[in-house]
Structure 1
Amino acid sequence: MSDHVDFQGGKFTGPVIGKAEYKQQAPAPTALDALPPPAAGFTGRDQELARLRAALDPSAADAEQAVLVTAVSGLGGIGKTALAVQAAYAAREAGWFPGGVLFVDLHGYDDVPVTADQALQSLLRALGVEPEHIPATADERAALYRSVLAGREAVLIVADNASSPEQVRPLLPGGVRHRVLVTSRDRLAQLGARLVPLDQLTPGAAYELLDRALRIADPEDNRVVEETDAAARLAGLCGYLPLALQIAVALLAEDPGKSAAELAGELGASYDRLAALDDGDRSVRAAFDLSYRRLPADEARLLRLLALAPGPEVSEEVAAVLAGEKEPPLAGLRALARAHLVERGNDAGCWRMHDLVREFGAGELTGDVKTVDEARHRLLVHYYHWADAADDRLRWLPGKPEPERFATRAEALVWFDRERAGLVAAAQWGRSERYASVAVRLALCLGTYFEWRRHWDDLITVSSAAQEAAHDAGDRKNEAMALINLGNALVVAGRPEESVDATLRGRDLCRSLGDREGEAAAWNNLGLALRDLGHIDDAVDAHTRSRDLCHRLGDREGEAMAWNNLGLAQEEADRVADGINAYTRALALSQTIGDRQIEATVWNNLGNALEAVGRVDEALQAYGKDLQFCLEFEHWYGAGQSLDNLALALGSLGHFEDASAHYLRAAGAYTRANAPREAAEARVRAAALTAPEEPTDTPAPVAPPARTTDSVPPGPPPPGVPGTGGP
């Protein structure tokens, strides 16, 4: 950069003043000192605060004994956040964390909590990572997060309001000098954390909080000390919960003429008022109302309807449906964003609303049952039609009519991924009778997608909700389908006893209805659960029944799946030759109907059987065909299994370097398939093969069993919704 300005060639008729302005590209801003302000009147937690300080003090233990994670747990409103923030301030003032303090609210107990992936994105931005440099996948984000922290001095991460260990684990730093402080309503013992349970304040501490916090507003305010008995009653009505006590203080501070006795009387006589104190909604509502009353009627209506969105973010497509418009209400969304009532979401074309604004908007619809019903029904019908279309694409086979809505499987998966949280929440609306018909059909469209993405908890959730709703509505056909889907999800989730119960109920319903296709699917799932329980002969019988039923029905896809699973059961019964024959039959059927997904599954299992009888070269060819198909469909879990099995076979031939490379590829595939446990196991096996050989008395690790693949079809596609039109 030059330090002068060149006017060469210029023509001037008078005095000239040259001015140059230099700007240097600034690094991304950081937010490493972003703690919320301390709670007013904080008191009564001396013992717990001392425990937290001891856990956070870097000089209190050596690296091996350092407390890396501390979890504060207790009832909602008990003051967990206030305690954690107080401890974080004390640690910062002590100079223990020169690298800074990060704070993230995980909203773990909201209807849709913040995911660890979303939290990582927020933390990376706080650490100064440019948004465009944040990786797309959760594992890559976690790796970058640990790498950024590794280059910093000691940092304290405060993860507020977590509901599960899964929300917190990806946020743990890799080094021992950093610390994590978690708050939760549950004891998170699975984190290996120092546990600090929190109880309600003592009556004396609650009384002291009222007095201290009120004197912060006005040092001359003596209402608490002058009305000792009334203040004690007020503290009792607040349940000695710090949150409710703070709200009571705010109400007194707003009205200097109100005595503690009067407020206690009002709270004692008003159940709703006390409930509002418990969650703090009342004091916030007034602030929102000031902004809401300034909105034009159409924007106010949009705000109310957006509050009905079931997911944490609302796509512009869904916003249009809620508003009853053909095109996204972009002008209204932008106007609400200017008023800070909505903001851009994480995904392009998506918007999100602060949780409390959402509650405010929904509260404005109280009593307007017609508007709520119409908007939710519009959204359910929309979700059902598009989920049905996306499901058709995921189920599509060559030779069948091309689905119209989605041109590729990738497009269908992108739509499902974007709307997933909303779909799961909306499918549970079926517990309300007025929404049951559409919500049940929506839930039954989600099975294939959840299996593909391995979202087994979601599949269990929506299938359970669909079964209950269908049962209450007397819809036995769809109840049977929901039970079959539920049994499917439970067996893959490692809950075979529950799977047997659900599947038997579904099978018996199908029998009573004469639904032989559903009965065949139920027998198939029952066989898988029985095999997991060790009842191998019963499993063989169940898969044989499924195979025979499918054959009589002309259901070649179901028959191919049944042959595959029969082969697995026969192998378990040490009938490997019979298993190979079953896989061969399954291959012939899947190739005839052009179902490459089933064919890939069968190639994997045939490879296992061939390897078991010493035909390793043929097994390697079978695994290779399975891998080819899995990569073609981006079926990452299946690819991980085939790579795992290739590595195992190569290791048995003494090709340890190639085996290690395949294990590492398997780990990458499992990571993309949302299977961290399998990914970690593959990395361990790769490391074991590449570790330097040293004399040891410890025996070599036993090779893992080959990974088999079940065929677990959901029930048949649900019927359409009469009178709702196409997507």
Structure 2
Amino acid sequence: MAFWRKKRESTDHHLGDVNGAETTDHYVGDFGSAEIKVTDRQGELPLVSITVSMTPEFACGLDFQNKRDELGLHHPKTLRALHLYAFTLGDLPDRRDEAIELLDWLVAALTDDPENRLPALNDLTRLLQDSGRLAVAEQRLREALSGWERLRGQDDPQTLQIAGVLAGVLIDLGRREEAEGLMRDTVARRARALGATHPETLTSMNILAGTLRGSPSRLAEAERMYEAILAGTDGINDLILLARHNLAAVLIHQGRHAEALERYRELVDIRARLHGDDHRLTWSSRRNLAVALNSLGHFADAEARLAQVLDAYRRLIGPRHAETLATQTSLAAMKANQGRTTEAVPLLRDAIEGYRGTHGPDHPRVRHLTHVLAQLGE
């Protein structure tokens, strides 16, 4: 039975007996420390009290356990503590599955409380995406979209935000036409409610433009949308950087590699200053810089950079995340194009298995990469 359904007798952090004494954990402060009070067997005389530092996930887990033991599992405060605990676990790739299990249970437990259930469902869908479970993520996102529509209406910002996330999953699943229809409706709703140049309208327009990039005949339209976003927003912010990033990707698709290369160099510098060298968005810009370098014939430099990105993605977002698999496929292609088939094949074979698990065995990407693998002699 899962630990949150009964009082756990021991944990990795439980100190157990210390020289024949009992220990009691008391959570104090926010993510700071735990006061461990060691008493005699009767709990009467404190023998020693020490303070140990705690990670956020341990602090939140301890807070949840204390509330569960004091108030009961289904008390609202306990469930909120469980939500926070699962949220902190979700930031750790090696504990993401545990966070998904916790949130899945929590969503079911909050069936009659949509105000708290839907935020938990939002976080569950994010973790499903990050773990590469796109088919399940789509189902839960549609559930979330329907729930927010019932709770707050079709034009509510939360409803429209979920629509945008759903469109992103549909793009990853190769269903760009569905995503386009969803986002055209979302852009229209945001424009009516907020105005054509409101940041949230432009954010939805950015996603809409992303649905067009998969078709060579729609690249010019996508480019115009990105230029409109850049014209409608001042300064340096996340939306501006994302639009600049996506515009550079369009330039790559159009064969304008030198222009794209310059844009990606600028983006890497800006991202590193804003977010740090080891931020996921910085690595995303480095990934596309490597692709641009490869397109211009700088093969060794491109491969070395992309290998670094792949290692970072595996560490930051996990080996089966869509961005990780795409990067791994690109690295395999770089090696194969240089005649290093024996290095390319294991990367490609593993990426195919990843895509089978995330996209399904009949997805066009799986079929295409399987065909490529066969051409490589495997």
* TM-score of Structure 1 vs Structure 2, range by shorter chain: 0.5 to 0.7
Distance 2:94 2:102 in 1: 13
Alignment counterpart, residue 588 of structure 1, candidates 269, 287, 294: 269
Distance 1:549 1:389 in 2: 39
**How many equivalent residue pairs?**
306
The structural deviation recorded for 1:493 is: 2.0
Q: Which residue number in structure 2 is paired with residue 250 of structure 1? A: none
Q: Which residue number in structure 2 is paired with residue 524 of structure 1? A: 206
Q: CA RMSD, aligned part only?
A: 3.8
The structural deviation recorded for 1:529 is: 0.8
- C-alpha distance 420-602 of structure 1, shift in aligned 2 (>3 A): same
Is the aligned partner of 1:464 residue 2:146?
no
Partner of 2:250, secondary structure, is helix
Query: In the TM superposition, what are the counterparts of 1:612-627 in structure 2 within 5 Å?
Result: 612-627=295-310
Distance 1:521 1:379 in 2: 38
Partner of 1:636, secondary structure, is coil
Deviations 1:65-116 (A, max 9, x none): xxxxxxxxxxxxxxxxxxxxxxxxxxxxxxxxxxxxxxxxxxxxxxxxxxxx
- C-alpha distance 679-472 of structure 1, shift in aligned 2 (>3 A): closer
Is the aligned partner of 1:643 residue 2:328?
yes
Unaligned runs of 5+ in 1: 1-313, 321-326, 331-376, 394-405, 692-727
TM-score by length of 2: 0.66
The structural deviation recorded for 1:587 is: 1.6
Q: Which residue number in structure 2 is paired with residue 253 of structure 1? A: none
Partner of 1:651, secondary structure, is helix
Is the aligned partner of 1:597 residue 2:280?
yes
Distance 1:380 1:532 in 2: 45
The structural deviation recorded for 1:627 is: 1.7
Query: In the TM superposition, what are the counterparts of 1:262-661 in structure 2 within 5 Å?
Result: 315-317=2-4, 319=5, 327=7, 378=74, 386-387=82-83, 390-391=86-87, 393=88, 406=89, 409-410=92-93, 412-419=95-102, 421-422=104-105, 429=111, 435-475=113-153, 476-511=156-191, 512-513=193-194, 516-533=198-215, 534-547=217-230, 552=235, 554-556=236-238, 558-592=239-273, 593-594=275-276, 596-633=279-316, 635-637=318-320, 638-661=323-346
Distance 1:437 1:687 in 2: 51
Larger Cα Rg: Structure 1 or Structure 2? Answer: 1
The structural deviation recorded for 1:453 is: 1.2
Distance 2:175 2:356 in 1: 23
User: What percent of counterpart residues are identical?
Assistant: 14
The structural deviation recorded for 1:629 is: 1.0
Deviations 1:246-299 (A, max 9, x none): xxxxxxxxxxxxxxxxxxxxxxxxxxxxxxxxxxxxxxxxxxxxxxxxxxxxxx
Deviations 1:132-187 (A, max 9, x none): xxxxxxxxxxxxxxxxxxxxxxxxxxxxxxxxxxxxxxxxxxxxxxxxxxxxxxxx
Distance 2:230 2:106 in 1: 33
Contact 2:194 2:201 in 1 (8 A): no
**What code does the residue aligned with 1:652 have?**
N
Partner of 1:635, secondary structure, is coil
**What code does the residue aligned with 1:621 have?**
A
Query: In the TM superposition, what are the counterparts of 1:208-227 in structure 2 within 5 Å?
Result: none
Distance 1:583 1:576 in 2: 10
Distance 1:572 1:608 in 2: 11
**What code does the residue aligned with 2:343 have?**
D
The structural deviation recorded for 1:452 is: 0.9
The structural deviation recorded for 1:683 is: 6.7
Distance 2:347 2:9 in 1: 50
Distance 2:125 2:230 in 1: 22
Deviations 1:597-651 (A, max 9, x none): 2233333322222222222222212212212212332531444433332332223
Distance 1:448 1:584 in 2: 29
**What code does the residue aligned with 2:252 have?**
E
Contact 1:507 1:523 in 2 (8 A): yes
- C-alpha distance 526-381 of structure 1, shift in aligned 2 (>3 A): farther
The structural deviation recorded for 1:447 is: 3.9
- C-alpha distance 673-457 of structure 1, shift in aligned 2 (>3 A): closer
Partner of 1:442, secondary structure, is helix
Contact 2:163 2:182 in 1 (8 A): yes
The structural deviation recorded for 1:449 is: 1.1
- C-alpha distance 447-660 of structure 1, shift in aligned 2 (>3 A): same
Unaligned runs of 5+ in 2: 11-72
Distance 1:389 1:510 in 2: 33
The structural deviation recorded for 1:530 is: 1.7
**What code does the residue aligned with 1:496 have?**
R
**What code does the residue aligned with 1:609 have?**
A
Deviations 1:491-518 (A, max 9, x none): 2222222212322333344441479443
Partner of 2:113, secondary structure, is helix
Would you tell me which structure has more helix in proportion to its own residues? Answer: 2
**What code does the residue aligned with 2:333 have?**
L
- C-alpha distance 510-440 of structure 1, shift in aligned 2 (>3 A): farther
Contact 1:560 1:587 in 2 (8 A): no
Distance 2:304 2:357 in 1: 24
The structural deviation recorded for 1:413 is: 1.0
- C-alpha distance 567-463 of structure 1, shift in aligned 2 (>3 A): same
Contact 1:500 1:526 in 2 (8 A): yes
Deviations 1:637-687 (A, max 9, x none): 444433332332223223333333543554576678777666786676456
Contact 2:145 2:159 in 1 (8 A): yes
Partner of 1:532, secondary structure, is coil
Contact 1:387 1:446 in 2 (8 A): no
Contact 1:600 1:627 in 2 (8 A): no
The structural deviation recorded for 1:526 is: 0.9
Distance 2:75 2:375 in 1: 52
**What code does the residue aligned with 1:622 have?**
R
Query: In the TM superposition, what are the counterparts of 1:145-224 in structure 2 within 5 Å?
Result: none
**What code does the residue aligned with 1:648 have?**
A
Distance 1:380 1:490 in 2: 34
Distance 1:596 1:467 in 2: 29
Q: Which residue number in structure 2 is paired with residue 117 of structure 1? A: none
The structural deviation recorded for 1:580 is: 1.9
Distance 1:495 1:679 in 2: 14
**What code does the residue aligned with 1:482 have?**
I
Partner of 2:339, secondary structure, is coil
**What code does the residue aligned with 1:445 have?**
D
Distance 2:86 2:227 in 1: 32
Q: Which residue number in structure 1 is paired with residue 41 of structure 2? A: none
